[in-house]
Every structure is written in structure tokens, then in C-alpha cells.
Amino acid sequence: MTSATTNKDRRLGKGLAALLGTPLDDEGNPLSDSAGGQEGVKIQSLELAVGDIQNNPFQPRREFNPEEIASLAESLKNHQQLQPILVRIVDGKYQLISGERRLRATIHAGLPTIRAEVREADDRLVAELAIIENLQRKDLNPIEKALSFKRYIDEHKCKQDDLARRLSIDRSTIANLMRLLELPDGILDMLQGGELTAGHARALLPIGDEEIQRRTAEKIKEESWSVRATETHVAELLKAEEDAETGKKVVNATRQKRRTISPQVEAMQQEMRMIFGTKVEIKSSARGRGKITLHFTDPDEFERLRDMLSDAGKPRLRVAG
């Protein structure tokens, strides 16, 4: 695991612990209250019948790997449940907050009860806990993550910055995932179905035409393109689009006119388009002066670009090894 991934997981764990008011174990599961919890958080531990627990309505995950559930169920048959699930009481009934995989595995194993901790939590806190818990899962679909962010922001009328602060995560994480929702439904279905990766999907975002996006996505699937091959193809499409905007075909006269941009600058321009996921223009003079223009279409995209530029300016730590 890289140091960057480790640091990200630690931030997610910190956010979950802060929301729960409870320290976490090495895998991000809440420890019992005896390990030290936030003062004022009411906790009650008990055994609950699995049939008495309602699902978490804010759970972003729609699909659970049946093999993982079966494996966890086998483990529960042979070993005592190490960590309790978390529930709350809603209208006199128990509703799941955290631990749906353990609950599903317990049901799969045919066990009648499960150890649980009852906590006080409102809808907003439960939604935040569900998001954080699932961000820690490497197999959660990126669209499910993005939809959970969108639902939270829409329901609580907040900005991406607000959610990032509450969850102790980078705002760019939220922005980059939510940008995927701008893609056509057919591409989102392919992404959810595992036919495309998030890297493929991000490479399609700079394409302005939805039909071209769909055709490109089909080529990625049919020809098993790598993310790098997809980025190269998209860069070529963007260049062709620029040529079309001039209202002229790519003929010798047009090529001669475009030579005002050196091949080196044009290559850098294309590379920066792929990095920033938006239109980039570089203009330079014979004296070496010039400017770089980044295009954005809405405030969220502006914030995303600002975050990328801010992150690029931060010092990077080198890990010796």
C-alpha cells in the first residue's frame, strides 16, 4: 500500500471516528465504548434478532459481493463476532447505522441473533456515517459513491466544501466523483456494471458530444482499450474538434496557419487537457512570454481546477526505500 493511500485511509478513519464519537480498530470498525468514547453519546449493547433490524435507508451500496458475504458467514460460524453492528431506534424499531455486511453474513449463516450497539443518531449523521464507511471499501462502485454525495448535498442543501469538512476528506475527492454523473446514462450503466473503470470514464469527460462519448465507450469495451489508450484517443478527438471549430477542413493551408503554435506547445496543450479534464489553451510569444488558459463551465468545475492547482503547489514528501 502506498503512503498516499495509507494517509487517505487514515483521514477517512478519523472522519468516521469523529462522527461516531468512538475510536476505531485497524480495519475501521468502531471499538466498544469501554475503549473511550465521546461524552454524551448514549450507547446500549445487546443481542438483537436479525429479523428485527431494518435496513439503513441511506446506504449507498446497492450490490454486495455474494462470495464475500458467504466467506464472512463461514467465519462467523466458526468464530465469535468481534465487532458489534451499530443501530438506532426509529419509531420504536431498530434501524441499521453501520455493519450491513456483518448483518447480511449473519443472516446467510443462519444465525438468529447479532450483537449490536444502540446509539442516538439523526438522519444527517447516519447518512454521513454510511458515506464514510463505504468510502473505506475498495470495491464500492464509483457511481454509488458519487450518488451518495449528490443525495446528501441535495437533501441538506450544502456545498461540496461543507460535506468535505464534515467527513474530513478532500473536496477534490467529492468533486472528481460527482463529475462522473455528467456522463450519459448508458456510460454510467457500463461503469456500474464493471465494463468501464473510473479512469476510462474520467477520460471521456472532456468530450463535449454525448453521442461521441457513447461511441467511444463502446470501442473501449469492444477493443479492451487501456486508460492510456483511451486518453490518447480522446486527445485526438479534441484536436479534431478544434479543427472543426475553425470551420475549415484540415488541409495544407490550415496546417500552415496552425504552425503559429509550435509542435512542442501543442503537445503540452494536449497533455494538460488530459490532466485537467477540460479545454486548455497555451499562447506564447517569440520572446518566451505567454499565458495558459483553463476553461470551466460552472462553479464546481472552477473549484475542482482550483483544488488541482493548489494540490500541485503543495510540497511532496519522498518516502525513502
* pLDDT tens digits for range 162-216: 999 988 888 998 999 999 999 999 999 999 888 999 999 999 999 988 999 999 9
- The average pLDDT across 12-27 equals 48
Does residue 318 surpass a pLDDT of 60? no
Strands (E) in the chain, as ranges, are 43-49, 53-54, 85-90, 93-98, 113-119, 280-284, 290-294
Query: What are the phi and psi torsion angles at 86 (to 5°)?
Result: -110, 135
Residue 302 is assigned to a structural domain of this protein = yes
Which pLDDT value is given to residue 61?
A: 76
57 phi and psi, to 5 degrees? -70, -15
Final residue before a domain boundary, out of 178, 207, 231:
178
Looking at the structure, do residues 166 and 284 belong to the same domain, yes or no? no
Residue 264 in grid coordinates: 512542442
Smallest CA-to-CA distance from 296 within 305, 288, 287 is with 305
Identify whether 80 is part of a domain: yes
Which amino acid type is present at position 308?
A: M
pLDDT computed for residue 316 by the predictor:
52
How many structural domains comprise the chain? 2
Q: CA 169, CA 145: separation in Å to the nearest integer?
A: 13
Please report, for the domain that includes residue 163, its CATH number: 3.90.1530.10
Q: How confident is the model at residue 83 (pLDDT cuts 50, 70, 90)?
A: confident
Is position 254 within any domain?
Answer: no
Tens-digit pLDDT profile for residues 230-286: 999 999 988 887 776 665 554 555 455 445 567 788 888 888 888 888 888 888 776
Residues designated catalytic: 100
Among the candidates 143, 178, 213, a domain finishes at: 178
Expressed in angstroms, the distance from the first to the final Cα of the chain is 13
Residue 34's domain comprises 3-178
Supply the pLDDT for residue 271: 84
Quickly count: other Cβ atoms within 10 Å of residue 311's Cβ: 11
pTM of this prediction exceeds 0.95 = no
66 against 88, higher pLDDT: 88
Mean pLDDT of 128-148: 80
Strand, coil or helix: 240: helix
CB 136 within 8 A of CB 13: yes
Domain assignment present for residue 149? The answer is: yes
**Is 188 domain-assigned?**
no
What ranges make up the beta strands (E) of 20-91? 43-49, 53-54, 85-90
The reported pLDDT for the residue numbered 289 is 80
Task: Give domain status of residue 121, yes or no.
Answer: yes
Is the domain of 271 the same as that of 166? no
| Of 132, 155, 178, the domain-final residue | 178
Q: What is the DSSP string of 156-202?
A: HT--HHHHHHHHTS-HHHHHHHHHGGGS-HHHHHHHHTTSS-HHHHH
What rounded mean pLDDT belongs to the chain? 79
Residue 20 has pLDDT above 80, yes or no: no
pLDDT of 247 reads 57
Identity at 37, one-letter amino acid code: G
